[in-house]
A = this chain, B = another copy of it.
Amino acid sequence: MTDARRVRVVVDAMGGDRAPEEILSGVSAALAADPEVEILLTGPDEVVSAFSAAHDRVTAVPTTQVIAMHEHPANAVRAKSDSSIVVGCRLVREGEADAFFSAGSTGACMTAATLVMGRIRGVARPAIATVIPTEADPVVLLDVGANADYKPEHLVAFAHMGAAYAATVLSVPAPRIALLSIGEEPTKGSQPVIEAHEAMRQQVPGFLGNVEGRDIVSGQVDVIVTDGFTGNVALKLLEGTSRSLLRQIKAEMTATWPRKLAASVIAPGLKRLKERLDPDTYGGAPLLGVRGVCIIGHGSSSAQAVSSAVRVAATAVRGDLTGSISRAIEKQEK
């Protein structure tokens, strides 16, 4: 069975604010959840070797350097060739592993994956995607930060990459693709968006047209394409709004004793809602367009986020995400 085939995922033990503890707990959970997954753990010898000795299916890959969150990505990647991030990407390039996950610096992961794994032929700009939970189906939004400056043709490539991700990882057979704009009419939007609309109409299977900001959370399409500036603002606004609203609701619900009592009855429902909206369920943001599966986690990734990310990475490898993107881009070029 293809689904059960062995997948080797590199995990950066030093990525994120809660490393290595939460990362290692997440790895344990991932190993338990999927008996066919193998982990290659990059990080300081004392961290990775002890963990590998205590766990089956874990190989320690000791590294001597760590890239911190605040470092300049390109400089750090160049200077620290024995860092947990750079070595992780190298293992994928050399065929020693199938996928790479880190909750470390997004910029450093992006740079390392792009430089070390390389770009898929025909992809000018890798993009970061994220899965947004909605009331209906989850939505793949991309780019959420890799490309603040862009051209219309980049958006077209993002559409192909997002479609491949929705098909491979979210099991959507024929993804519905939309372009984020400020009106549904093809003539609405900035000049590059208007041009991208026209190109996508001609070149992207499943392209339905423009959607607006509110549609990011309506779940009526499977993939929403935008540039990395707009996508990043949207993603952070969405997180901020949800958090702020839930906080305000909690404040209202606990403002008086009778309300506190009533709130305890409702609590399980709200907890379920919070879990449903929790981006951790979808396990990190894939960097699409590089030669290999690369998943980047939030700096605050919990053990659950790490475990979800490993699951997503394994699904992407088994579904041949990289090959799907490559074929879609090649097809378009003909």
Query: What residues of chain A have their CB less than 8 Å away from a CB belonging to chain B?
Result: 134-135, 145, 148-149, 180-182, 188-191, 193, 212-218, 226-230, 232-249, 252-253, 255, 258-259, 261-266, 269-270, 272-273, 277
Contacts and interface: CB of A to CB of B under 8 A. Distances in A.
Contact of A233 (B212, B240, B265, B273): B212
Contacts of A229: 181-182, 189-190, 193, 230
A243 B240 CA distance: 15
A62 to B, nearest CB: 32
A149 B188 CA distance: 11
Contacts of A235: 213
SS class of chain A's interface: helix, strand, loop or mixed? helix
A145 to B, nearest CB: 6
A239 B232 CA distance: 18
Given A135-B247, A212-B233, 13 more contacts: A135-B244, A148-B191, A182-B233, A190-B229, A218-B240, A230-B233, A241-B245, A245-B245, A248-B273, A249-B249, A252-B270, A262-B262, A266-B266
A228 B273 CA distance: 33
A234 B234 contact: yes
B214 A237 contact: yes
A238 B236 contact: no
B240 A215 contact: yes
Contact of A148 (B193, B243, B253): B193
A228 B189 CA distance: 9
A266 B248 contact: no
A269 B241 contact: no
Contacts of A266: 252-253, 259, 262-263, 266
A232 B247 contact: no
A229 B249 CA distance: 30
Contact of A213 (B215, B234, B263, B270): B234
By Cβ-Cβ distance, the 9 closest A-B pairs, closest first, are: A214-B240, A213-B236, A252-B269, A213-B237, A262-B262, A262-B265, A213-B233, A148-B190, A182-B232
Nearest to A214: B240
A226 B214 CA distance: 18
Contacts of A242: 241, 245
Contacts of A149: 190-191
